[in-house]
Amino acid sequence: MSKNLVIVESPAKVKTISKFLGKDYTVEASMGHLIDLPKSSIGVDIDNDFDIKYITIRGKGQLLNKLKSKAKGADVIYLATDPDREGETISWHLKNAFKLPDNKEIHRISFNEITKNAVTNAITNPRDIDMNLVNSQQARRAIDRIVGYKISPILWEKVKNKLSAGRVQSVALRLISEREDEISRFIPKEYWSLEAVLKVGKDSELLVSFYGKDGKKLELNNEKEVDDIINTIGNNKFKVIDVKKSKREKKAPLPFTTSTMQQEAGKVLNFTVAKTMSVAQKLYEGIELPGRGTTALITYLRTDSTRIAAEAVTNCKNYIEKNYGVEYAADYVSTDKEKGNKVQDAHEAIRPTYLELAPADIKDSLSKDEYKLYSLIWRRFIACRMKPAIYDTEKVTFDANSYTFTANSSKVAFQGFLMIYKNSDDEENKNSKLPNFNVGDELEKDEFKKEQHFTQAPPHFTESSLVKLLEENGIGRPSTYAPTINTLLKRRYVTKEKKSLFITELGTAVNNIMTKAFDDIVDEKFTVNMEKQLDEVENGKIEWKQVLRDFYPKLQKELESAEKNLEKISIKEETTEEKCEKCGANLVVKYGPFGKFLACPNFPECRFTKNYFEHTGVLCPECKKHEVYKLRTKKGRIFYGCSDPDCTYMTWQLPKDATIIEGMEKYIEKDK
């Protein structure tokens, strides 16, 4: 047996780290948590100062015994679980479970990237388990467990079984509900735009936009106001009264944090938050590359820091100078000033571990999704160390009988970071150039163009925009966003159409109860303050049980009041026109592990069920008579088939060039 035992979380890391450390080290995986709170009970002894009961997770006993045996036979044990609160707690649980003698060497090591330098440096610089980190996780876990186990039974009683409440989840649901209310209350407001087409020379024209009167901004509220301006200007010429030329800088983006990676992957790649984290996990743990073996491609994926290690900064600058030119490399380090004290700087930003592994060079070794996300991370990191883009801008102001019109142009003078990366929020890079004008020049009008508009309601949240709002308000942590959104969807509190999130009737009922009875839980200020307290536990400023002592008394009063005063809410099931083939009742829509299905409302007396056929709005390309339905296999995989039982058309992707059925455009779904 090797003298040294290294325990990591994921088996995907074992081969890579073994290669780095050599034959004197045995590397084993804990497969995540082995010890946790019981599922059958709350696991937090509220009456005994919040003592926590831990048990070996069912099915993990054999693996734990194996690790105990390995630890007993090793001279030195290195606990190398992930570098965060969860990882620290897993190491603490393992150390306690091993029950090793005091003279046995057992160390905690952590690394932000799975590279030889990072791993060997961690081995040579071990540390003790950070109990502040552990206690912060214990406090978070206990609070979340208390919220879930105490409030969920009230939801079961007042609404329906199998519902759940969560600390971050409940705030996110309230935000989605408030956005729905804002949209439903929205009243469109009319406004108009006015443009003039001016003659420039013999064959050219220039479009100028109405700004106001005598240089002051003026809103156009109706057509009469527009027509009055047109009539007042009449045939008067448009005189140039000001020409301003300037340069504008657009700074390079910051490197990715977990949330900004989730947001950008959602907007650019159409990835869900959960998919982004899943693909990033594979890139972090390692991909098999020809000639290199299993290679970790990115640094740790759970971080809210934009800090970059000095060595990585130097390497990136050298790479930029070599591949793009010295003039593109920046000499400063960007920081995220807006986040202030909210940033947890334990880790670096997300970046590639080996810059020389350009996405195109390893594309054949990556899946389609891995390539997309790795390319996004790789380009973002290089861009963050490049100089700003510089635009030449020009604004020409015209006067027409005291009314002010303007024309603007913008042209890239120096690409800077735009050479390699464009944000999803970047404006279209349309270079434009105005004719050369001097103050006093006069132009004749060719025609006016007027157009009516209406203000738009705020958009529904997408996963990306919800994550952005949660992060901006300090609600939750990077690791909580994906499970929070998944829970809302799984519990059917929220549904997703295209990218947009919509609250369901069930979600509205749950939110109403939470808002009415548990105002603290759904209050974002309370949640933000709780995160700050957990951070102070992590920094050793607050004793972890004190957070629970302060939290629970008010919750207890709210629980008692809710149990006594809340009325039961009835949620109507969606009834369809389809009849039960056994008893003739109208079938209702139910939700199962793999999505919607139809069931008889007379359950349990009648147990008839059938598939729920989702419309696509597309005509079957085979029979050319019936609609294609979206269906699911018994294991939940989506496929598409003709709605006519006599037609054999079936495919795993929605036909992209098929005919759209007239009147069913709203059902068209872009296949992802």
Residues of the chain with CATH 1.10.290.10: 258-384
Residues of the chain with CATH 1.10.460.10: 139-186+460-565
Output the pLDDT for position 635: 52
pLDDT > 50? residue 670: no
Residue 646, judged by CB atoms within 10 A of its CB (0-12, 13-18, 19+), counts as exposed
Output the pLDDT for position 272: 93
Output the pLDDT for position 342: 45
Terminal Cα-to-Cα distance of the chain (whole angstroms): 49
Give the C-alpha separation, 202 to 87, whole Å.
Answer: 72
H helices, E strands: number in the chain? 17, 28
CATH 2.70.20.10 fits 193-251+389-454, yes or no: yes
Pairing of strands 76-79, 4-8: parallel
pLDDT tens per residue, range 319-350: 999 999 999 999 865 555 444 444 444 578 99
pLDDT > 70? residue 231: yes
Fold classification of 258-384 (topology level): Topoisomerase I; domain 4 (1.10.290)
Tell me the CA distances in angstroms from 429 to 209, 391, 413, 535, one per residue in order.
Answer: 20, 10, 12, 42
CATH number of 139-186+460-565: 1.10.460.10
The DSSP result for 290-351, as a single string, is TTTEEE--B--S--------HHHHHHHHHHHHHHT-GGGB-SS----TTTGGG--TTS--B-
pLDDT > 90? residue 352: yes
**Which of 170, 154, 149, 152 lies closest to 507 in space, CA to CA?**
170
Give 614's contacts (C-beta < 8 A, 6+ positions apart). 596, 629, 630, 631
Per-residue HEC secondary structure of 477-535 comes to CHHHHHHHHHHHHHCCCEEEECCEEEECHHHHHHHHHHHHHCHHHHCHHHHHHHHHHHH
Output the pLDDT for position 24: 92
Output the pLDDT for position 672: 36
Give the C-alpha separation, 338 to 358, whole Å.
Answer: 31
Share of the chain above pLDDT 90, in %: 68
The DSSP result for 407-436, as a single string, is EEEEEEEE-GGGGT---TTPPP-----PPP
Which residue would you say has higher pLDDT here, 162 or 31?
A: 31
Note the pTM of the prediction, 2 decimals: 0.82
pLDDT > 60? residue 429: no
Q: How many C-beta atoms lie closer than 10 Å to residue 102's C-beta? A: 4
Q: Which amino acid is at 42?
A: I
> Tokens standing for 590?
């139910």
Tell me the CA distances in angstroms from 538 to 88, 157, 541, 542, one per residue in order.
Answer: 11, 37, 8, 8
For residue 278, the number of C-alpha atoms closer than 13 Å in the C-beta half-sphere is 10
* 284, 300, 552, 629: the active-site residue: 300
Tell me the CA distances in angstroms from 157 to 151, 540, 630, one per residue in order.
Answer: 10, 40, 35
- 437-458 burial code (b ≥16 CB/10 A, e <16): beeebebebeeeebeeeeeeee
Fold classification of 4-129 (topology level): Rossmann fold (3.40.50)
> Tokens standing for 509?
């009922």
- The sheet carrying 627-632 orders its strands as 614-619, 627-632, 638-642, 650-651
Mean of the pLDDT values across residues 295-308? 92
Instruction: Examine the residue annotation and report whether 403 is marked as an active-site residue of this protein.
Output: no
pLDDT tens per residue, range 268-284: 999 999 999 999 999 99
The DSSP result for 45-99, as a single string, is EGGGTTEE--EEPTT-HHHHHHHHHHHHH-SEEEE---SSHHHHHHHHHHHHHH-
E strand intervals along 147-251: 190-200, 204-213, 216-217, 238-250
The DSSP secondary-structure symbol of 256 reads B
What is the sign of the dihedral through the CA atoms of 481, 487, 490 and 495? negative
pLDDT tens per residue, range 181-204: 999 899 999 999 999 999 998 889
Which residue would you say has higher pLDDT here, 528 or 337?
A: 528
Give 308's contacts (C-beta < 8 A, 6+ positions apart). 255, 316, 333, 348, 349, 351, 384, 385
Output the pLDDT for position 343: 44
Residues of the chain with CATH 2.70.20.10: 193-251+389-454
Output the pLDDT for position 594: 56
| pLDDT class of 654 with cuts at 50, 70, 90 | confident
Which residue would you say has higher pLDDT here, 666 or 59?
A: 59
The DSSP secondary-structure symbol of 13 reads G
Peptide bond just before 601 cis, omega within 30 deg: no
Which residue would you say has higher pLDDT here, 499 or 453?
A: 453
pLDDT tens per residue, range 472-484: 988 888 888 999 9
pLDDT tens per residue, range 541-567: 999 999 999 999 999 999 999 988 888
Q: Under DSSP, is residue 132 helix (H, G, I), strand (E, B) or coil? A: helix
What is the sign of the dihedral through the CA atoms of 615, 616, 618 and 622? negative
Give the C-alpha separation, 406 to 216, whole Å.
Answer: 12
Give the C-alpha separation, 459 to 313, whole Å.
Answer: 38
Give the C-alpha separation, 506 to 521, whole Å.
Answer: 18
| pLDDT class of 571 with cuts at 50, 70, 90 | confident
The mean predicted confidence, pLDDT, of the chain is 90
**Which of 41, 35, 145, 15 lies closest to 92 in space, CA to CA?**
35
pLDDT > 70? residue 528: yes
pLDDT tens per residue, range 73-114: 999 999 999 999 999 999 999 999 999 998 899 999 999 999
> Tokens standing for 487?
């829970």
> Tokens standing for 329?
């490399």
